[in-house]
C-alpha cells in the first residue's frame, strides 16, 4: 500500500476536511479505490476531519473486519457504498473532538459504534466522524478488540436469537458457519439462553464449536439435513443462516413444526473472497425459494434480518442490546474469540485471510 495526498473527491464522506490554510494534522485511512479484490485497498493520508453539527470525532482503537466489508468491496452488498470509500462497519475508540449541538458525549469518552450510516462507513481509519446519537458509551477496563467484536457480530447474534427467532429455553439451534465471528457469538449466547446447539463448520473449526458447548457438523463430510432429522423428535427449532443460496432451502427441511429459519448473510455469493456471478444468482434463487416456503402449511417460518435496517428502525433496541452485551462482557459471561489483531496498513492481508475461509472468531484492525 502507498501513502500520499489525495484529491478532495476521494476524501471520506464524513471527512469534512477543514479548509483553513496553514499546517494541519493528518491521519490515515484505507480506501477501496474501485470494485475488486483485496488489491483495490489502498492506504492514504489526508487532513484530519472536523466534526459537523451533531457529530463527534472518534480516534479509532480497534476496527472490525467482517464479510460485509468483503461484499462492499466486491460491489454486491445491498445498499453498499460506491468507490472510492473506506470499509469498516464497527469501531471502538476515544472521542477526541465534539461538534456543535452535541450533548451527552464528551471529549475523552470511550465509545463503540456501528459505522454503517450511508454514505458513511469508514471504520478502517485512524479517526472517523460519526453522528453523536450513534455512539454507545463503553465501560472502563474492557479490551477494545473484545468490545468491537460485540458491535456487529454479537449484536447480530443477539438480535437473531432474541428479536427475530424469539428463542425459548430448551429449543434446538443450528448455526451455519458456527466457528466464525457471528457463529461463535451465537454459540456463546445460545448457552446463556439454554439452547441445545449444533453448528456446521470445517474440520478445523470443530474443536472450537465443541469447546463452546455445541455439537459440530463438518459441512464437507456430513449431511446436516440427514444428521439433524435423525435426532429424537426430528430436526431443530431455529436455524441461523448467514450463507444463503441452496443452504437456505436445505435448512428449511430441518425445521420442526413451529420452527424458524432466519436468513441474514450473503457468504455463499463469494468464492475465495471474490464475487461469483453464478453464486450470486444461486443465492437469490435459493433465498426466494426459502421465503416462498412461508406459504406452506406446518407452521414453519422463514424470516430475514439485516442489522443496519433494524438499527435504523429501532435505534433504542441497538443501544439496549449492545448495553446488555457490554454488561455480559464485563461480567465474564461472554468471551469474544479474536482471530488476529492486524495493523491498519495490512488491511489487504485481513481481507485475503477472511476470503480464504477458516477464520475462527473476529479479525481486528489496529490503527
Q: Please, which residues have CB within 8 angstroms of residue 10's CB and are 6 or more apart in sequence?
A: 31, 33, 44, 84
Strand, helix or coil for residue 30: strand
Percent composition of the chain: helix, strand, coil (DSSP 3-state, to 5): 35, 25, 35
Q: What is the pLDDT of residues 316-366, one digit of tens each?
A: 999 999 999 999 999 999 999 999 999 999 999 999 999 988 899 999 999
Closest CA to 262 of 292, 304, 308, 299: 304
Instruction: Note whether 157 and 182 are within 8 A (CB).
Output: yes
pLDDT tens string 118-127: 656 789 999 9
Domains of the chain listed by start with CATH number: 8-138+337-366 (3.90.180.10), 150-306 (3.40.50.720)
CA atoms within 13 A on the CB side of 255: 27
DSSP string of 113-145, one letter each residue:
EE--BTTB---SBSEEEEEGGG-EE--TT--HH
265-318 pLDDT, tens digit each? 766 566 666 666 666 666 666 666 777 777 677 789 999 999 988 999 999 999
State pTM to two decimals: 0.88
Helix axes 67-74, 347-356, angle to 10 degrees: 100
d(CA 151, CA 188): 15
Mean pLDDT of the chain: 88
Amino acid at each position: 500500500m502507498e501513502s500520499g495526498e489525495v484529491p478532495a473527491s476521494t476524501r471520506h464522506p464524513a471527512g469534512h476536511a477543514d479548509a483553513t490554510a496553514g499546517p494541519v494534522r493528518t491521519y490515515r485511512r484505507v480506501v477501496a479505490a474501485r470494485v475488486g479484490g483485496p488489491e483495490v485497498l489502498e492506504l492514504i493520508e489526508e487532513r484530519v476531519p472536523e466534526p459537523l453539527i451533531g457529530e463527534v470525532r472518534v480516534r479509532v482503537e480497534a476496527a472490525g473486519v467482517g464479510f460485509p466489508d468483503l461484499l462492499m468491496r466486491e460491489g454486491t452488498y445491498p445498499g453498499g457504498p460506491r468507490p472510492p470509500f473506506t470499509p469498516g462497519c464497527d469501531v471502538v475508540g476515544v472521542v477526541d473532538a465534539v461538534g456543535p449541538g452535541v450533548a451527552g458525549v464528551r471529549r475523552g469518552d470511550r465509545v463503540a459504534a456501528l459505522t454503517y450510516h450511508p454514505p458513511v462507513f469508514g471504520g478502517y481509519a485512524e479517526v472517523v466522524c460519526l453522528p453523536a446519537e450513534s455512539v454507545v458509551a463503553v465501560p472502563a477496563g474492557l479490551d477494545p478488540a473484545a468490545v468491537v467484536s460485540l458491535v456487529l457480530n454479537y449484536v447480530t447474534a443477539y438480535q437473531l436469537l432474541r428479536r427475530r427467532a424469539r428463542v425459548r429455553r430448551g429449543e434446538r439451534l443450528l448455526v451455519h458457519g458456527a466457528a466464525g465471528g457471528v457463529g461463535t457469538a451465537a454459540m456463546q449466547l445460545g448457552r446463556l439462553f439454554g439452547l441445545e446447539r449444533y453448528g456446521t463448520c470445517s474440520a478445523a473449526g470443530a474443536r472450537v464449536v465443541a469447546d463452546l458447548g455445541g455439537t459440530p457438523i463438518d459441512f464437507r463430510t456430513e449431511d446436516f439435513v440427514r444428521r439433524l432429522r435423525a435426532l429424537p423428535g426430528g430436526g431443530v427449532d431455529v436455524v441461523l443462516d448467514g450463507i444463503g443460496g441452496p443452504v437456505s432451502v436445505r435448512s428449511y427441511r430441518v425445521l420442526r413444526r413451529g420452527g424458524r429459519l432466519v436468513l441474514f448473510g450473503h457468504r455463499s455469493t463469494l468464492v475465495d473472497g471474490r464475487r461469483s456471478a453464478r453464486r450470486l444468482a444461486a443465492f437469490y434463487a435459493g433465498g426466494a425459494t426459502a421465503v416462498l416456503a412461508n406459504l406452506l402449511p406446518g407452521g414453519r417460518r422463514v424470516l430475514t434480518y439485516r442489522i443496519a435496517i433494524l438499527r435504523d428502525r429501532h435505534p433504542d433496541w441497538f443501544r439496549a442490546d449492545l448495553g446488555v452485551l457490554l454488561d455480559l462482557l464485563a461480567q465474564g459471561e461472554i468471551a469474544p474469540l479474536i482471530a488476529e489483531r492486524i495493523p491498519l496498513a495490512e488491511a489487504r492481508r485481513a481481507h485475503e485471510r477472511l476470503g480464504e475461509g477458516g477464520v475462527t472468531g473476529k479479525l481486528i484492525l489496529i490503527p
